[in-house]
Structure 1
Amino acid sequence: MPIPLNTSTDSGTAPPPEDAGWLVWARRWPRWAPYAAAVWGGAYAVVQAVWAVTGTTVPLTPDDSYTSATQGVLAGMGVVAAGAGLAATRTWAGWRHAATTVSLCAAVLVYLLGAASLPAHFVTLASGSGVESATGLANVLLHAAGAGLLIPATLSFWRRHRNQCPRCGRFHEGRSSGALVHPAPSVASRRTRTAVFLLMGGLLPWAGVKTIWTLGGDAIGVTAEGWRDSNADASGIVKALASVGIDVTVLAAAAAIFLLLGLMYPWGQVFPRWTLLLAGRRVPRLLPLLPAWATAFGLSLYGVFILVVFVPLTALGVFPEMKPTGAFTTSSGLLWMAAFGGMAFTGLGFGLVLAARSYATRTRPVCAGAGTPVPAPAG
């Protein structure tokens, strides 16, 4: 059986040199992640309560803001998250285990939903457009941090309940905070690669139309002149890219495609020769996984809502007809662009989900005390 989380595996001597400093701290994440999640939950509850009492405006969408009542509910959710984090430091049975599991899962879902707009904020900042709302960005970052702490806390809690090593997830005895053995670099399975490339194809209509506009063409009721006029107040970076036919959001999608390829091929596990000084070194596992996880959920959620709910119900007349706005001169053109956006974000989001899952499976290390891992599984 693996060593429980609160049981020391050391013999009373200092850790070896390779386990010193930040490395040993990182390797012991199952021990501190639940406590960190609990501290974060308390801080989050205080922030939401202060915003509610002071009437601080925190945007929910470009047109709506959180109400004080909603912020009060979120503050209560922070208290629940703090309690669940503390409960996750122990192994429970019966209803206590069920209550802890439900609380952790509910908190993770709430904070993932709250962080869904993180990709949009990233593109806005990267384009040099500045911060539209400081409290809005702070709120999204708070939610992202909460999800980022509660997910590993939940993972370690589940693994300990199943008598697995809380860190690597294998069944083994001995230390769970020593060195890790990593699988050899590998390629994602043919099925995964095929699915991801098909999903990436959803970007083509959306990126194609935007490229036509930036290159001076007309499409779906938008003229090149109208497109330029609608972006007259854009940042210098956006205008510079548009002058050479590159839309900043298409460039961001290209960066996501680069991430997708890295998740599926060996150069995402070992730095290739063109990275110069880093060439041949192992890529830190979280380096591609964190941005993939941080963007996949929001893109998938937004894309599915637009493609499956908003566009069909608008076309059927259930939702009000979209009024032409900005560079758009027809409602149908605006609806087509919404459909193209839904296809793009759905494809990119689910592509990241599949590629990140494959990468996480293929690169999953094992504690050195458990022996040499088997070759990387197909993913």
Structure 2
Amino acid sequence: MAVPTSPKAGLAPRPGTASPERMLWRRRWPAWAPTAAALWGALYAAVEITWAATRTTVQWKEHSAYAPGVQLSLAALALLAGAACLAGTRPPAGPGRVAVAAALMVALPLFAVGMSGLPLYFVTLVTLSGVESATGLAQVLLNTAGAVLLLLVGLSYRRRLRGECPRCARPHTGADDGPLVHPAASRAPRRTRGAVYLLMCGLLPWAGVKTVWTLGGNVLGVSAEEWREAIGPGASGPAKAAAAVGIDITVLAALVGIFLLLGLLYVWGQVFPRWTPFLSGRRVPRLLPLVPAWLTGLPLALYGAVLSVMAPLIAVGVLPPVKPVGPFTTAQTTWMVEFGGLAFGGLGLGLVVAARSYGARTHPVCRSALEAPHPELATP
């Protein structure tokens, strides 16, 4: 199916104002991504080896830190992945091709899992609650950068092997760093919107409980006063200010995620609406919503899935109970773990589904692919 060369009436975005040099740099990401990934691998290995040699505590979850052996293993994997990225610039044949693909398939999921703490650090930074571990935050940021670069390299490598343009994934002749043609702005299909709305319902138990407490009510056998006493010592100024008007800071963060979700589903996430000053009518850069959606969606979905599985296993005694805090009993804590799993998992998976739809609906195509279409592109 051919990508439309002009947007629908009333939805035509005005062209951006990016300089030609900047546009050319962005267009050539399949060329510079492997080198950037190799440099990241060297930096990552140097940091991990330094931390392991100096016995620096690098937190990966509460009260747990990376062992030196794990850090050295991650350093070796980062170097291996960087070397594979450089080797993949010219797709080798036979065993070399398998080795490059295997290195990327192993490294990408592992470093993607390592960025699972990104949303939690984001919330603590936004609410001015303080960073619990500076080295832990640095580790998460390094993992995130690596996962993004390895994903870019993996996409371009796979497309080259299939004989497609490494940038637009369409088979065509000519340069792969020329102008792009963007499809018309459109909203997500009804099935996608329904799935995302259903996933968003996972927020209701968590948000409902927190809202009842912030408004002064009792729920799960815990009063608002007991809940405030339990979180009081660690609450930041913004968190206390939000609670004073009946808004829990985690619920507020979820509302930001919902705003991002809606932008991914509807046209105003592709063309700036009228209420955005100075930007009204301009096309929204694809990466502006996609990057935060993927970077928060995947870790949240993974974290939520872990919590959703943990809660029933704790309830039946397969896993040890979570140590209760303040007025909470073990049973109440288990319920909150399950509510958290539904909330984080629902929001995260919703972001993943919406981002996938948004990426497909806004995927641009090299102009040369439309000017000289390949026979395989013809619609039967």
Q: TM-score, normalised by structure 1?
A: 0.91
Matched, 1:200 2:169: no
Is 354-363 or 364-373 further displaced after alignment?
Answer: 364-373
- The one-letter code matched in structure 1 to 2:165 is C
2:348 counterpart of 1:359: no
2:368 maps to 369
CA RMSD, Structure 1 to Structure 2 (Å): 1.6
Query: Which residue does 1:71 correspond to in 2?
Result: 71
Q: What is the letter of the counterpart of residue 272 of structure 2?
A: F
Q: Which amino acid aligns with 1:157?
A: Y
In 1, the alpha carbon distance for the partners of 2:226 and 2:19 equals 60
Matched, 1:128 2:99: no
- 2:192 touches 2:353 (CA, 8 Å); kept in 1? yes
Structure-2 separation of matches of 1:322 and 1:82: 39
CA deviations over 1:235-260 (Å, ceiling 9, x no partner): 11010000001111111100000001
Distance 1:67 1:128 in 2: 29
Which residue in the other structure is 1:118 paired with? 118
Letter in 2 for 1:342: G
- Alpha-carbon distance in structure 1 between the residues aligned to 2:94 and 2:256: 46
**Structure 1 counterpart of 2:337:** 338
**Is the Cα–Cα contact under 8 Å of residues 183 and 373 in structure 1 kept in the other structure?**
no
Matches within 5 A, 1:52-71: 52-71=52-71
CA distance, structure 2, for counterparts of residue 200 and residue 262 of structure 1: 14
In the alignment, what sits opposite 1:236?
A: 237
CA offset digits 1:158-203 (Å, max 9, x no partner)? 1111110011000111121111100000010111000000000010
Identify the residue that residue 180 of structure 1 maps to in structure 2: 180
Hey, what does 2:376 align to over in structure 1? none
Partner Cα distance (1:347, 1:196) in 2: 8
Q: Distance in 2 between matches of 1:216 and 1:65?
A: 38
CA contact (8 A) 1:38 1:86 kept: yes
Q: What is the CA–CA distance in structure 2 between the aligned matches of 1:18 and 1:354, rounded to whole Å?
A: 30
Q: Which runs of 5+ in 2 are unaligned?
A: 1-16, 374-380
Secondary structure in 1 aligned to 2:275? helix
> Using a 3 Å threshold, how does the CA distance of structure 1 residues 276 and 311 change in structure 2: closer, same or farther?
same
Shift of residue 19, structure 1, vs aligned partner = 7.3
> Which amino acid in the other structure matches residue 257 of structure 2?
A
Alpha-carbon separation, structure 2, partners of 1:135 and 1:99: 32
Q: Unpaired runs of 5+ in structure 1?
A: 1-16, 375-379
What TM-score results when the alignment is normalised by the length of structure 2?
A: 0.91
Equivalent residues of 2:230, 2:325 under 8 A apart: no
Identity of aligned residues (%): 56
CA deviation map 1:115-167 (0-9, x unaligned) = 01100000010001121111010000000000111110111111111110011
| 1:317-374 deviation digits (Å, cap 9, x = unpaired) | 111233431341x221111111111111111111111100000000000011111799
Counterpart in the other structure of 1:10:
none
> Residues 372, 339 of structure 1: CA spacing in aligned structure 2 closer, same or farther, 3 A cutoff?
farther
Mapped to 2, the partners of 1:335 and 1:192 lie a distance apart of 32
Summarize the alignment of residues 159-178 of structure 1 with structure 2, pairs less than 5 Å apart.
159-178=159-178
Q: Which residue of 2 aligns with 1:293?
A: 294
- 1:179 to 1:170, Cα distance in 2 relative to 1, 3 A: same
Q: Please show how residues 1-379 of structure 1 align to structure 2 within 5 Å.
A: 20-233=20-233, 234-308=235-309, 310-328=310-328, 330-371=329-370
**Contact in 2 for aligned 1:37/1:85 (Cα 8 Å):** yes
Change in 2 beyond 3 A, CA 1:129/1:96: same
Task: Tell me which amino acid in the other structure corresponds to 2:358.
Answer: Y
1:14 aligns with none
